[in-house]
Structure 1
């Protein structure tokens, strides 16, 4: 049976024409979902760390070098997340344009 994607409900009464591929498809979907979730979590953590260090530097409690390293790491993570998001959106649009 086809499962829903995100907030999109599954199609009722549909079945896969390859029932043996169902477990591999579910495992791949779970792995992809876990990877995207981990990416988002790590990106947010790095952004929060950079923000915290920036505030500490303003109070005179953190070294400039540590702040620069944290901000650069956060910026790289954010740019990677944006690039991956763009690729996912492009792939979705390509799939949505396919003729059935």
Structure 2
């Protein structure tokens, strides 16, 4: 059964709203403060690879009859989202590099 949308979205923490009405960045983002860009990209890549490997093992378990169809579909859809996110991030990094390389010195 599909969960209600309200249950899947995180609640807005009103303690992070500044007087101008915009929401400040969360205090904890899953990555430590002062982490460099390369380690963030490495973590995203590692997470995407882990999701794809998990989907692969779930698919094999489904073929053997050890996993339900729903579990296999959930794992494959999660891996697809992770892979799409990694591709979008890669495209943005390449576009930023190309933009920087076109700058006049």
TM-score normalised by structure 2 residue count: 0.66
Unaligned residue ranges in structure 2 (runs of 5+): 1-32
Which of the numbers 85, 94, 98 marks the counterpart of 1:93?
A: 98
Structure 1 stretches of 4+ with a deviation exceeding 4 A read: none
Q: Per-residue displacement from partner, 1:2-58 (whole Å, max 9, x unpaired)?
A: xxxxxxxxxxxxxxxxxxxxxxxxx96x52111100000000000000000101110
Which of the numbers 60, 73, 78 marks the counterpart of 1:73?
A: 78
Which of the numbers 70, 82, 91 marks the counterpart of 2:87?
A: 82
Higher alpha-carbon Rg: 1
Structure having the higher helix fraction is 1
Measured in 2, the distance between the counterparts of 1:62 and 1:41 equals: 24
Measured in 1, the distance between the counterparts of 2:75 and 2:36 equals: 28
User: Match of 1:56?
Assistant: 61
What's the RMSD between the two structures over aligned residues?
Answer: 1.4
Measured in 2, the distance between the counterparts of 1:69 and 1:60 equals: 16
